[in-house]
Chain A
């Protein structure tokens, strides 16, 4: 019996394998692209890229982009765009400096005020977009100019700093250790291993559920490969960080955000509705989905995350500068599109956006390490963005 099933299952399994690869080309493609780019720069920089200190740097440098990419993914999936995030981020950084440095407000109070102000900014923009049907491109372009101006008003053209020490720690601090082992940050390593175990457990559980219900879409080899790769990457990353100074605080914030928003996007009715609205707003509305309110919420959320990014950025620089956030919106949007989101809406994943942000980050970092000038960096990043989207369109046309 086993013989019979095996021989009959083999060709079917093989074509399922190829078919799956074809339909999920994009998701794996982006992951392979990140690995290839990392491998390339690891060699090209003579091994500097993956040195513990540089890995720590990579995380810190890209944290604010990733935080915003998470919000931007939802905006783009809903079928919109937000050009104002760079300015909002700069404005909130300035506001936090004014509150903490000039008014001497304690850091938690100031941080909460800043997040609320960010959410309010997003909500105001979202109101025009959702209820007045003003194109998001216009509203947020206006927001980009307005909040850039407001930031300059707050800063009066000066940089403000330094920040209180405990505030700086959110961006440049590391989690404390439990036991002192020479050259290894034990708690970090344990946390990382725990995270890897949880990830594997969760995907095993969901696959078991799927299997109970019928055959899973994903061939087993892919499933196993993907999990080994992800768990391995998490442990390797954490090990590298642990041999340096341990896990940065901001990495914990990012991990929580990524996990939380992935869950919201995939597993909640709100997430489902956002994808449906982005995929076909008319059909979603006729299915009883309040697309206006969702759009409003998505922008309010984006504002709040931009505020969080602003806080992290200001804390990292240890001052608020009038240049903060400039052109960051473009990096964020590029990250989301490299990560596989569609301009038309309805398509994209949080994890994809994060990987897209890392691709941009690794390229920035690697090219800087190689001493490539900013001129070439810009051109290369632009071409990578174009290539990623062409790859998308090519795949889509081939599938159709």
Chain B
């Protein structure tokens, strides 16, 4: 076999972090090559290097495609060679037809005038190849996600694809659609089209993959050949998570009390596709002084759970019960949730957390403006005192409370978001990926704050995709997958392997 793609010694760094370090990936012609790794292991970065999103020169190492060294400067460069990437979030224009989407940017036209009959004829051929029985004139918005995925592949085929990259193609598909997609990949393989499959679903991978490359923390850990050796899911999981937990977490001294916050039978539907349950009959509780983690992969429904709990900020047809200290409470709007001392710090601080154009001073009291006002009138002095107090308490590195939050580093922005919620005096605080994208030092400080809050007897829910973080900070961990809670582990029994295998076991049903 000859290799169609060889990536050698790829190193890519962002300010402060090495996202990829000396990564090697070799894909043989006509194989399905699976790429696995935890969130943040560097899979997407590697694919962005390959497809030219990060242009040649932005990284170290070399890319050989069909035996020749290539320097891609943009996605169109790599597409010209026959490398097509299909992202997790599909890049289709919903209100255009299938045919228009397939030939978007690559129109069948002469002198700028579109040849519609040729467009529709070619589209029909392509749809036949991916076994999609739809009219080329159907608008994409009328198709389910599975069919949209097939349209994406048809679009790739229209570009004479040689290497197809699929980023978590089945994460939002049901079983039937997933199987159809995998079958299509196998079929394309028989026609000589190679693919790289990025997936968390190990059962699917062992079903179709020829070889598997495991990435961890930006390094290539191993490449396993499914034909020469027997590979168990446990082997893959071990390679994915096997790293040591050093002193990255401050030591807490938990004093856990009575059950304080309880959620019963919580269900929420997707706001647009309202037949889809994003959160499915979830029940859990948190005790006073306890830090409870929710583990899961991206798209498991953790953020959706938190936001639907917090004033129905997400989702449709929400049902279930929320209890605080044994009493049912109303969290049906954000002001009511805050009034009941239930707060939620978002995972996306720039979009949902901060008014970036405003200084620290204005952001800190935002969720509790009445606290700095006499009646309707803002007390400037009190506002300054509050902002200054939290700036010191949280050690927010800034030129002063007048500094705009847009100019703060990620970790300091996160501290402003936390300050905002602490000033709202929560009893229950839901933290969604509080350390995403911030450096190790700032992470440590955030963990210390979490411990401090727990010591004050507050109930903390910590949503995180970083398992070491959950294992290092939580007293108990719930595991969520595909909208459901699939397991609960006291911290003494929890391990990355256990959590991963809980997720992967239930992945089959997803």
Interface centre among B358, B381, B388 (most CB of A within 10 A): B358
Residue contact B362 to A276, C-beta cutoff 8 Å: yes
Give, as a whole number of angstroms, the nearest-CB distance from B399 to chain A. Answer: 9
CB distance from B385 to the nearest CB of A (A): 7
Of A285-293, A317-325, A368-376, the stretch lying at the interface with chain B is A285-293
Question: Which interface residue of A213, A271, A280, A347 has the most chain B CB atoms within 10 A?
Answer: A280
Q: Which of B335, B352, B369, B381 contacts A283 (CB 8 A)?
A: B352
Most A C-beta atoms less than 10 A away, residue of B337, B344, B378, B400: B378
CA distance A286 to B430 in the complex (A): 13
Chain A, Cβ-Cβ closest to B370: A269
B window 386-444: CB within 8 A of A: 388, 400, 402, 420, 424
Contacts of B351 in A (CB 8 A): 280, 282-283
Selected contact of B377 from candidates A268, A288, A346, CB within 8 Å: A268
B358 touches A288 (CB 8 A): no
B-chain residues with CB within 8 Å of residue A275 when the two chains form the complex? 355, 358, 362
CB closest residue in chain A, given B339: A288
Q: A213-B384, A286-B344 are in contact. Are A279 and B376 (CB under 8 A)?
A: no
* Cβ of B367 under 8 Å from chain A: yes
Could you tell me if A282 and B352 are in contact, using CB atoms closer than 8 angstroms? yes
Does B265 have its Cβ within 8 Å of any Cβ on chain A?
A: no
Pick the contact of B356 from A210, A271, A279 — CB < 8 Å? A279
Within 8 A of B (CB), among A267-319: 267-273, 275-276, 279-280, 282-290
Q: Mark A111-130, 1 if CB is under 8 A from B, else 0.
A: 00000000000000000000
Q: Please measure, in the bound complex, the distance between the C-alpha atom of A390 and the C-alpha atom of B384, giving whole angstroms.
A: 33
In the complex, A287 Cα to B311 Cα: how many Å?
Answer: 10
Interface centre among B334, B355, B424 (most CB of A within 10 A): B355
The winner among B310, B334, B344, B346 for most chain A CB atoms within 10 A is B334
Nearest-neighbour CB distance to chain A for B341, whole angstroms, equals 12
Known: A269-B369, A286-B313. A214 touches B356 (CB 8 A): no
Cβ A286 vs Cβ B355 within 8 A: no
A347 in complex: contacting residue of B310, B353, B357, CB < 8 Å: B357
Question: Residues of B within 8 Å of A, CB-based: how many?
Answer: 35
B376-A269 in contact (CB<8A): yes
Report B327-345 residues with CB < 8 Å from chain A CB. 334-335, 337-338, 344
In the complex, A129 Cα to B258 Cα: how many Å?
A: 46
Q: Does B380 make an interface contact (CB < 8 A)?
A: yes
Chain A hits for B362, CB < 8 A:
272, 275-276
Q: Is the CB of A285 within 8 A of B355?
A: no
Residues of chain A with a CB closer than 8 A to B378's CB? 266-269, 271-272
- In the complex, the answer to whether A286 meets B369 with C-beta atoms within 8 Å is no
Can you name the residue of chain A whose Cβ is closest to the Cβ of B336? A288
A347 neighbours in B (Cβ, 8 Å): 357
User: At the interface, yes or no: B298 with Cβ under 8 Å from chain A?
Assistant: no
Residue of B nearest to A209 (CB): B381
Query: Which A residues lie within 8 Å of B313 (CB)?
Result: 285-286
Neighbouring A residues of B354 by C-beta, 8 Å? 280, 283
**A393: min CB distance to chain B, Å:** 14
Q: How large is the interface on A (under 10, 10 to 19, 20 to 34, 35 or more residues)?
A: 20 to 34
With A286-B313, A287-B420, A346-B358 known to touch, is A268 a contact of B376 (CB < 8 Å)? yes
Q: Give the chain B neighbours of A346 by CB distance below 8 A.
A: 355, 357-358
Kindly count the residue-residue contacts between A and B in the assembled complex, taking CB atoms under 8 Å apart: 89
Contact B402 A217 (CB under 8 A): yes
B376–A283 CB distance below 8 A: no
Pair A214/B388 contact, Cβ less than 8 Å: yes
* A6 interface contact, C-beta 8 A: no
Q: How far is the CA of A270 from the CA of B367 in the complex (A)?
A: 13
Of the candidates A214, A270, A286, which one forms a contact with B400 in the assembled complex, judged by CB atoms under 8 Å apart? A214
Closest to A215 in B: B400
The answer to whether A203 has its CB under 8 Å from any CB of chain B is no
B173 at the interface (CB under 8 A from A): no
Per the bound structure, the CA–CA distance linking A286 and B400 in Å amounts to: 25
B366 on interface, CB distance cutoff 8 Å: yes
Q: Quick check: B355 and A276 within 8 Å, CB to CB?
A: yes
Determine whether the beta carbon of B355 is less than 8 Å from that of A288.
no
Contact B366 A289 (CB under 8 A): yes
B373 within 8 A of A: yes
With CB as the reference atom, state the residue of chain B lying closest to A342. Answer: B357
Q: Which residues of A contact B400 (CB under 8 A)?
A: 214, 217
B358 touches A279 (CB 8 A): yes
A206 touches B356 (CB 8 A): no
Q: Contact: B380 with A267, CB < 8 Å?
A: yes
Tell me which residues across on chain B come within 8 A of A286, comparing CB atoms. Answer: 310-311, 313, 334, 344, 346, 352-353
A265 to chain B, nearest CB (A): 11
A377, B408: Cα distance in complex, Å: 44
Q: How far is the CA of A311 from the CA of B377 in the complex (A)?
A: 30
Chain A residue contacts of B357, Cβ below 8 A: 279-280, 346-347
Nearest CB to that of A263 among chain B residues?
B377
> Which residues on B sit within 8 Å (CB–CB) of A283?
346, 351-355, 366
Contact for B358 among A213, A269, A276, A282, CB less than 8 A: A276
The 8 Å CB contact of B366, one of A210, A267, A271, A276, is: A276
Q: Within the complex, what minimum Cβ distance (angstroms) separates B423 from chain A?
A: 11
**A280 near B367 (CB under 8 angstroms)?**
no
**Complex interface: chain B residues within 8 A of A285 (CB):** 313, 334
List residues of chain B with CB within 8 A of the CB of A210.
384
Contacts of A279 in B (CB 8 A): 355-358
Selected from B353, B367, B385, the residue in CB contact (under 8 A) with A288 is B367
- B-chain residues with CB within 8 Å of residue A289 when the two chains form the complex: 334, 366
How far, in angstroms, from A272 to B377 measured CA to CA in the complex? 10
Whole-angstrom distance between the alpha carbons of A170 and B436 in the complex?
Answer: 60
Q: Which residue of A lies closest to B356 (CB)?
A: A280
In the complex, which residue of chain B has the Cβ closest to the Cβ of A217? Answer: B402
Distance in angstroms from B304 CB to nearest chain A CB is 14
Q: Residue of B at shortest CB range from A290?
A: B335
Chain B residues with Cβ below 8 Å from A269 are 369-370, 373, 376-378
Mask: chain B, 68-110; 1 = CB below 8 Å from A; 0 = not: 0000000000000000000000000000000000000000000
B391 to chain A, nearest CB (A): 11
Closest CB of chain A to B80's CB: distance in Å? 34
Question: A269-B376, A282-B351 in contact; A287/B356 too (CB < 8 A)?
Answer: no
Task: Give Cα A270–Cα B377 distance, bound, in whole angstroms.
Answer: 9
Report A-chain residues with C-beta under 8 Å of the C-beta of B377: 267-269
> How long is the Cα–Cα vector from A285 to B384 in the complex, in angstroms?
23
How many Å from the CB of A215 to the closest CB on chain B?
A: 8
Bound CA–CA A41/B424 (angstroms): 53
> Do the beta carbons of B388 and A213 come within 8 Å of each other?
yes
Residues of A within 8 A of B352 (CB): 282-283, 286
Min CB–CB distance A379 → chain B (angstroms): 33
A336 to B338, CA, bound (A): 35
Distance between B461 CB and nearest chain A CB, rounded to angstroms: 16
Beyond A209-B381, A280-B356, A347-B357, whether A288 also contacts B370 by CB under 8 A is: no
- C-alpha gap A283/B334 in the complex (Å): 11
Q: What's the Cα separation between A283 and B362 when bound, in Å?
A: 13
Q: Report the nearest A residue to B367, measured CB to CB.
A: A287
27 contacts across the A-B interface (CB closer than 8 A)? A213-B385, A213-B388, A267-B378, A267-B380, A269-B373, A273-B369, A275-B358, A276-B366, A280-B357, A282-B351, A283-B351, A283-B352, A283-B355, A283-B366, A284-B366, A285-B313, A286-B310, A286-B313, A286-B346, A286-B353, A287-B334, A288-B337, A288-B367, A288-B424, A289-B334, A346-B355, A347-B357
Q: A-contacting residues of B (Cβ < 8 Å)?
A: 310-311, 313, 334-335, 337-338, 344, 346, 351-358, 362, 366-367, 369-370, 373, 376-378, 380-381, 384-385, 388, 400, 402, 420, 424
Given contacts A286-B353, A288-B367, 20 further A-B contacts (CB under 8 A): A210-B384, A214-B400, A217-B402, A267-B380, A272-B366, A272-B378, A273-B369, A275-B355, A276-B358, A279-B356, A280-B354, A283-B366, A285-B334, A286-B334, A287-B334, A287-B366, A287-B367, A288-B337, A288-B338, A290-B335
* Residues of A in contact with B (beta carbons under 8 Å apart): 206, 209-210, 213-214, 217, 266-273, 275-276, 279-280, 282-290, 346-347
